[in-house]
Amino acid sequence: MDRVLHLGPLVLPWMLLVLLGAWQLGTMVHERLAARRGLTGGPHGWRLPLVALIAARLGFVLRYADLYASASVAVLDIRDGGWSPWAGLGAALLYVALLWLRRSPWRQSATAGLATFAGVWLLGWGVLQATAPREQAALPSWQGVALDARTVALPELKGQPVVVNLWASWCPPCRREMPVMLQAREAQSPQSQVRFLWVNQGEPPETVARFAAQQRLPAADVLLDSAGQLGSALGHKALPTTLFYDRQGRLAAVRVGELSAATLAQHIALISGHSAP
């Protein structure tokens, strides 16, 4: 589950901060050991992380190749958060192995830098896992009125996977991800039965209704939250934010920021019990 640090309007995932810190420490170790051997930092200080970054992205893209095929430019849009960390680490290990095979003078310093990075990254991941709440958050005790005038109570949806999207019509990434979510809703198999809910934050009903009609969102699944109560109660004021609840009503994942078709499929597979492609 994504855990984030809120700095006013800025929202930063903790794992991203851990990753950046690990990279900085690994680079520092590499450069200092190289200097002790009378070497400059060399090109490996930037080549190694670049190779790992590209491999991590390609690993994720290949896993969801069919979803990226229809929008190839999305491969370059890393804002969707689609990464395969183990593919990146594997590429980094292969890179260092090639340095040893070629007897590169930087092989020892690069290895030490990679080991530092991996150690800090895994330690940070372990700390985040250890400090995570023991019990997963449940569907909140909140209810809203849909555009079809029906009342939807979130706790009553327990028994089926639920995707809750917090959005506003003035939010560009919210607008961009709407077609992706609507397509996923329409394309899901009968076995999945994932309920998609678009909970508008802080806008008047007429604005929400007009935007929903333009986007062809189902009226029964667009909920009004003019006071933004749900986002405040959940501690997520950044938009868009999407929360994924499993069949037991437990919060399985949170995605702060825009979703691509691939990252959405990844999270839906998590809550529906079906393996991702």
Question: For residue 185, what are the contacts with CB-CB under 8 A and spacing of at least 6?
Answer: 194, 196, 218
Contact indicator for 30, 110 with CB cutoff of 8 Å: yes
Rounded to the nearest integer, the mean pLDDT of the chain is 88
Burial tier of 125 (Cβ tally within 10 Å: 0-12, 13-18, 19+): middle
| pLDDT for res 89 | 92
In one-letter notation, the amino acid at residue 80 is D
Q: How many other C-beta atoms can be found within 10 angstroms of the C-beta atom of residue 183?
A: 12
| pLDDT for res 137 | 78
Distance between CA atoms of residues 263 and 268, nearest Å: 9
Q: Which part of the chain has CATH 3.40.30.10?
A: 143-272
Question: For residue 230, what are the contacts with CB-CB under 8 A and spacing of at least 6?
Answer: 140, 142, 144, 164, 166, 199, 201
Preceding peptide of 140 cis, ω within 30°: no
Angle, helix 261-272 to helix 44-63, in steps of 10 degrees: 60
Smallest CA-to-CA distance from 255 within 193, 167, 187, 183 is with 167
- Residue 75 tokens read as 């491969």
Contact indicator for 84, 63 with CB cutoff of 8 Å: yes
Instruction: Look at the domain 143-272 and name its fold.
Output: Glutaredoxin (3.40.30)
pLDDT in tens, 220-229: 999 999 999 9
pLDDT in tens, the chain (277 residues): 566 666 665 667 778 888 899 999 999 999 999 999 999 877 898 899 999 999 999 999 888 888 877 666 667 776 777 889 899 999 999 999 999 999 999 999 999 999 999 999 999 988 887 876 655 678 999 999 999 999 999 999 999 999 999 999 999 999 999 999 999 998 876 656 899 999 999 999 999 999 999 999 999 999 999 999 999 888 888 899 999 999 999 999 899 888 988 999 999 988 887 655 5
| pLDDT for res 26 | 93
- Residue 28 tokens read as 């520092």
Q: Is the dihedral of CA 181, 186, 189, 190 positive or negative?
A: positive
In the sheet that 151-153 helps form, which strands lie side by side, from edge to edge?
151-153, 143-146, 222-225, 195-201, 162-167, 241-245, 251-256
| pLDDT for res 75 | 76
Please, which contacts does 225-229 make with residues 24 or more away whose CB atoms are closer than 8 Å?
225/144, 225/199, 225/200, 225/201, 226/202, 227/202, 228/201, 228/202, 229/142
H-helix or E-strand containing 91? helix 85-101
pLDDT in tens, 230-277: 998 888 888 999 999 999 999 998 998 889 889 999 999 888 876 555
| pLDDT for res 133 | 64
Q: How many residues does the chain have?
A: 277
- Residue 38 tokens read as 């009378």
Burial profile 66-88: b = 16 or more Cβ within 10 angstroms, e = fewer: ebbeeeeebbeeeebbbbbbebb
